[in-house]
Amino acid sequence: MEKTLALDKAYPLPLLGSMIAKFPEKFEPAVWWPKSNETQGRKQPKKVTTQGKNGWSEDLEEEMREVIEVIKKKDSEDYMRLGNLALKVNKILAISGPLLTGIAAAGSAFVGHGSWAAIVAVTAGALASTVNTFEHGGQVGMVVEMYRNCAGFFTLLEESIESTIQEGDLEKREGEMFEMNVALKLGRSLSQLRDLARKSSSSHADGTSIDEFASKLF
């Protein structure tokens, strides 16, 4: 994927659309950002005991960890489940349409040799028309891409939070601004984001699962 992104950056042509498999064997989140190798040479994160000048504190770090847990267990998992389902449906429709069309064509060639040929041709043709209408009219392929992009958005957000938490230099952690940025990306206010983290922490203590998604946008 890194080579694809490099080519797309060097040659501003629609490369990504033709280089990404239309029917991948496995549903995976979309990745439109280069993987960073900064974590290899990064210092070990320091334990935060007091609030820094930039607003980063131990409470904020725990809050971000809880937000990551909710994103992974609720939002990302849900879009991965829906994406896998949509991909399977898309594959079935893509195979069924031409297959039924072929059966209808073969059946029409034997019309006049028995009533069964006409019945097969008409039935297969009607089913093929229905399948093609549902596949193209319903934009099933676009639904799969939508789920890929949404899952990729949450993956990027997870990596962004994790890289900030693992940053060894505390002065580089933008505490209050980073918290506000995460809240805006999830469609929440700061108070709602903190409430979400508290609910997640309480659910861990009670041994239950939180019944709320992190994002309120989609």
Q: How does pLDDT run across 59-86, given as a tens digit for each residue?
A: 888 999 999 999 999 999 999 999 999 9
Cβ of 47: how many Cβ atoms within 10 Å? 8
| Helix ranges (DSSP H) in 110-172 | 115-132, 140-165
Tally the domains of the chain.
1
Answer yes or no: is pLDDT of 136 > 50.
Answer: yes
Does some domain include residue 99? yes
User: Are 93 and 140 in contact, with CB atoms under 8 Å apart?
Assistant: yes
Kindly report, residue by residue over 160-179, the tens digit of the pLDDT. 999 888 877 767 777 788 89
CA 146/CA 211 separation, integer angstroms: 23
For CA atoms 176, 178, 184, 188, the dihedral sign is: negative
Interhelix angle 140-165/58-70, rounded to 10 degrees, is: 160
Q: Which among 68, 55, 57, 61 has a CA at the least distance from the CA of 177?
A: 55
Within a domain: 169: yes
**DSSP H helix total and E strand total for the chain:** 8, 0
**pTM (2 d.p.):** 0.77
Structural domain includes residue 30: no
Q: Is residue 67 included in any domain, yes or no?
A: yes
Whether 138 maps to a domain, the answer reads: yes
Q: Over the stretch 33-58, which tens digit does the pLDDT of each residue have?
A: 776 655 444 555 555 555 555 678 88
Instruction: Give dist(CA 80, CA 84) in Å, integer.
Output: 6
pLDDT, mean of residues 203-207 = 82
* Residue 23 domain-assigned (yes or no): no
pLDDT score at 41:
47
- Whether 167 is in a domain gets the answer yes
Residue 66, number of CB atoms within 10 A of its CB = 23
Query: Domain residues for 93?
Result: 55-203
What pLDDT score was predicted for residue 93?
92
Q: Within 13 Å and on the Cβ side, how many CA atoms surround 189?
A: 2
Q: Is residue 173 part of a domain?
A: yes
